Structure 1
Amino acid sequence: MDSLPSLRTLNNVNVWRERNDEDGEPLSPVARLFHQPGSNVYIVAIMGSKIKLQPDVIKPILIHALLKHPRFSSLQVEDKHSGELKWIPTEVDIENHVIVPELDPNMDGADKFVEDYLSNLSKTNIPNSKPLWDIHLLNVKTSEAEALIIYRIHHSIGDGMSLMALILAHSRQVSDPSLLPTLPVMNKKPNLLNLKGFRFVYILWNTLVAIFVFVLTAFFLKDTQTPLKGPAGVELKPRRFIRRTLNLQDFKLVKNALHCTINDVVLGVTQAGLSRYLNRRYGELQKYNGVTGQEKEKNYLPNNIRLRATFFFNLRASTKINAAGVICHNIFFNTTLWFSNVPGPQEEVSLYGHQMAFPACSCYGQPNALMIHVISYTDKITFVLSVDEDTIPDPYSLCDDLEESLKLIKAAAVPS
């Protein structure tokens, strides 16, 4: 990270644990998948603060909030006999994990600076000689926040939902500091065994088809090679992280008009936005074929495009992980993008005593050129894009397409 400013660290605070390699707990199968070639994935969580950060206040809270969690105070060490990775408790020096760059808080181009800072982080890995996480405190004013807290956590420590839950467990409602944040509650889905007739057959058939396609994807079925699909080795390239915040009320209006869910609207906006982006990119490829300005809304999309997103669950009990690592890498690489959707707090919250302006999460190290993460907070929904700029050189245009798609869907579903 040569392009980052000089860093200073916090005062030395140590947490000691007795080390016993034989008593180490093995990593779960999914945790070990994230150490396989092509799957070295890090989670990046950005928390905007409405006030300047006070490192001396945050530091002792972090000791209580994170270092008491075994995974944040353990090394991942290969067992000498079995070769398997284990969690080994270790002495943690907070100075090596909390980084506070000395910055001009009122610098020009702060938003671009933060983008570059995050992109530079994606060029590096955390050494295995310490627990695989760090936190960066940036006291720089951007267009949406007075300062930023940036978490970088290896995906083997936990998934996005569990890490977000851990962070929010140490936040409180601004209106009542004695209360934890509240998250939207999903309506309970009917049990498959309680369904009857055609609906049961319909869900069962779709499930079987999805499993069949999943197996084919693991071995040879690839998405169409589009301008969104990255080349082999894309997981090794740096990322650009872009955010676009939209009004949650617009999603609710569409949801109520169409009698669907917020997730349905989010997926519809995402699909429409990707279609608009691809249509423009394919149109640009044909710009030398006599296309006029009047034809710019023409459909240039090829027929029968296969474009899918990927997510996965830890259902595998076997401890042998090498073959599974190859299969998972194939699944990720053979699809076009990663997609994640996480509900956030419904009210404004404070984190470590600092009122939050926004949360945003994403990843780097995944074998896809594009990841879209969607998170809600109070009355807003934020789309966070993690892109390989060689594949997607204009990520802001993709954000514009997502925003425009929401406007078009809202106009069609809720006529004025």
Structure 2
Amino acid sequence: MEETMNAAISSVATLPKLPLSVRVHRETECADEPMSPIGRIMEDLDVYIVVVMGLGKPVNLPVFRAGIETELLARFPRFRSVQVMEFGKPRWVQTTVNVDDHIIVPRLDPAAVACGPEKAVEDYVSSLSMLPMDRGRPLWEFHFLDIPTSEATSTTVLRLHHSIGDGASLMTLLMASSLSTADPARLPAMPPPPKRTGPIYQRRPRPPLSSGEALLAWVWSYLVLAWNTLVDGVLLLATMLFLSDPHTLFKRADGGSSKSHRHMRFLHRSLSLDDVKLVKTAMNCTINDVLVGVTSAALSQYYFRKSGDINAKGICLRSFLLVNTRTVSSRQTYVTKVATGNKLSSLICPFHIALHDDPLEHVRKAKRLMLRKKSSLEVMFTQVVGEFLVKYFTVKIGSFLLRLFMTRTTIMLSNIVGPAEHITLCGHPVAFMATSVYGQPQALTVHYLNYDNTIKVILAVDDAQFPDCHQLLDDFVESMMLIKEATKFHTLKSIRFD
């Protein structure tokens, strides 16, 4: 592994130094845009997004390059902008971009590639977590690996700084810049919108005053909302001050206090969207509930096998769950206009490390938890507090508190909605997509991304913390299978009794 890694790193480190592409002219000042509070925090934390895309044919570099120039750069101003400090505050200033400066074709060791192409690609992508980006240019780059793997004919990796945008805005950019593979004359289709069309919490319409029972229920719902928000707000502040998860094998020894980048490994595996929907329908819950339950089951399976602590009654850990604060009713509009920037908030999502005879108990707990979170303004409270700290204090204080908050939780968890069908990006059909991040203090990050009829589970793990990370990934696949089989058993059992 080390030899392949060193070859991957050296292949990038020895690339020739190209002249800077940034030329900030006075006439571009009209296009200036202030950086959002969340973007400024991501800049200070130095967090990056990595998108691995398997392509359905060998890389045609001139065609892909032309697509980047005419689609991505034309649609997304952040891709042609640099960060400039003005009166102590960063701004986005558009500039001239030389696309060739952002295209990297590494030279990998042929022996390592022949020995294991999947591992060679994985090692190379992992090496990016230790390589800095040139701050004198727009902070994005494409890496092209013309290596056939079991899932794709070739691979491209998009790496960009999180201050440019979040996962949702990046996904809408990719969809807006691509075409349907089945019908190249149109944009890719989006998944059907969920029942909830607004933020995670929506105000309930007031019933007629003549309906006393309904009016009482309406008032009670607001009392529950106020109480839950108060409790969540207190827990949020307590987490920033002193409340921390217990040290387990999922947390770094230093608690993630070090600001230097650790070597992260990015792994991904496909789950069937139909299997997830089967559980969702049977349990009368959401896809998010199922995925949170799968995460809890997989981490429990890994923990008890690794620690041998079979007598444990259960451990309550917490995840830092990222939430897209944009409304979800106009996804296709976002694809057309391209959502920009970082519009994120977060909530604390507890999950239980426990052994259950019935695997569905993990989903039931997740369902109860998420119903409870939907009766709280925690997401809005977190967003307001973060923006207040940046606006009225300093970015350093805001990012310090956010990092402190993340170090006291165990994992980072996120779910991103992708295209409902296969897409063709820059003239290349995309076989799969896997999105993740690095630079966060947690040793483990779990992302889910649906693409066509699959859901990718993507892990970003500290290489030193999880030397058997592939076994952890296997636990996610096995846990999904166990939950699906338990769902079928309970469904048949209920039919038999009916």
SS at structure 1 position matched to 2:413: strand
Identify if the C-alpha distance between structure 1 residues 302 and 367 changes in structure 2 by more than 3 Å, giving closer, same or farther: farther
Shift of 1:67: 2.4
Contact 1:3-1:120 within 8 A present in 2 as well: no
2:147 to 140, 145, 157: 140
Shift of 1:207: 2.9
1:216 to 238, 262, 269: 238
5 Å matches for 1:45-64? 45-64=51-70
1:282 to 307, 310, 324: 307
Matched, 1:308 2:319: yes
Cα distance in 2 for partners of 1:386, 1:345 equals 22
Identify if the C-alpha distance between structure 1 residues 14 and 322 changes in structure 2 by more than 3 Å, giving closer, same or farther: closer
Shift of 1:90: 2.5
Which amino acid is the alignment partner of residue 407 of structure 1?
M
- Encode CA deviations 1:292-335: one digit per residue, 9 max, x unaligned: xxxxxxx3446543332342525415533221111111111111
2:47 to 41, 44, 51: 41
> Identity across aligned pairs (percent)?
37
Contact 1:234-1:369 within 8 A present in 2 as well: no
- In structure 1, the partner of 2:248 is 226
Identify if the C-alpha distance between structure 1 residues 282 and 260 changes in structure 2 by more than 3 Å, giving closer, same or farther: same
Identify if the C-alpha distance between structure 1 residues 347 and 353 changes in structure 2 by more than 3 Å, giving closer, same or farther: same
Shift of 1:213: 1.2
Cα distance in 2 for partners of 1:65, 1:16 equals 21
- In structure 1, the partner of 2:118 is 111
Identify if the C-alpha distance between structure 1 residues 197 and 28 changes in structure 2 by more than 3 Å, giving closer, same or farther: closer
5 Å matches for 1:129-168? 129-168=136-175
Identify if the C-alpha distance between structure 1 residues 375 and 225 changes in structure 2 by more than 3 Å, giving closer, same or farther: same
The alignment of Structure 1 onto Structure 2 pairs a total of residues equal to 397
Matched, 1:94 2:95: no
Identify if the C-alpha distance between structure 1 residues 57 and 74 changes in structure 2 by more than 3 Å, giving closer, same or farther: same
* Comparing 300-309 and 253-262, the one that deviates more: 300-309
Cα distance in 2 for partners of 1:301, 1:179 equals 54
- In structure 2, the partner of 1:29 is 37
- Encode CA deviations 1:380-404: one digit per residue, 9 max, x unaligned: 1110000002222211111121112
Identify if the C-alpha distance between structure 1 residues 25 and 219 changes in structure 2 by more than 3 Å, giving closer, same or farther: same
Contact 1:71-1:157 within 8 A present in 2 as well: yes
Shift of 1:235: 5.4
1:3 to 2, 7, 17: 7
Which amino acid is the alignment partner of residue 279 of structure 1?
F
1:206 to 216, 225, 228: 228
Shift of 1:253: 0.9
- Encode CA deviations 1:118-139: one digit per residue, 9 max, x unaligned: 1111101212111111111111
SS at structure 1 position matched to 2:317: coil
- In structure 1, the partner of 2:73 is 67
Cα distance in 1 for partners of 2:11, 2:319 equals 41
Which amino acid is the alignment partner of residue 280 of structure 1?
R
- Encode CA deviations 1:357-415: one digit per residue, 9 max, x unaligned: 10100011111101001011111111000000222221111112111211221222221
Q: Which runs of 5+ in 2 are unaligned?
A: 206-216, 323-343, 346-382, 493-498
TM-score by length of 1: 0.88
Identify if the C-alpha distance between structure 1 residues 16 and 180 changes in structure 2 by more than 3 Å, giving closer, same or farther: farther
- Encode CA deviations 1:117-168: one digit per residue, 9 max, x unaligned: 0111110121211111111111111111101111000000001110111011
Contact 1:44-1:362 within 8 A present in 2 as well: yes
Which amino acid is the alignment partner of residue 256 of structure 1?
T
* Comparing 161-170 and 106-115, the one that deviates more: 106-115
Identify if the C-alpha distance between structure 1 residues 262 and 408 changes in structure 2 by more than 3 Å, giving closer, same or farther: same
Q: Which runs of 5+ in 1 are unaligned?
A: 287-298
TM-score by length of 2: 0.74
Which amino acid is the alignment partner of residue 65 of structure 1?
E
* Comparing 367-376 and 231-240, the one that deviates more: 231-240
Cα distance in 2 for partners of 1:271, 1:414 equals 20
Cα distance in 2 for partners of 1:272, 1:13 equals 48
- Encode CA deviations 1:161-206: one digit per residue, 9 max, x unaligned: 1011101111111111112112221112683233725544444433
Which amino acid is the alignment partner of residue 48 of structure 2?
Y
Taking only aligned residues, the RMSD between alpha carbons, in angstroms, comes to: 2.7
Matched, 1:170 2:174: no
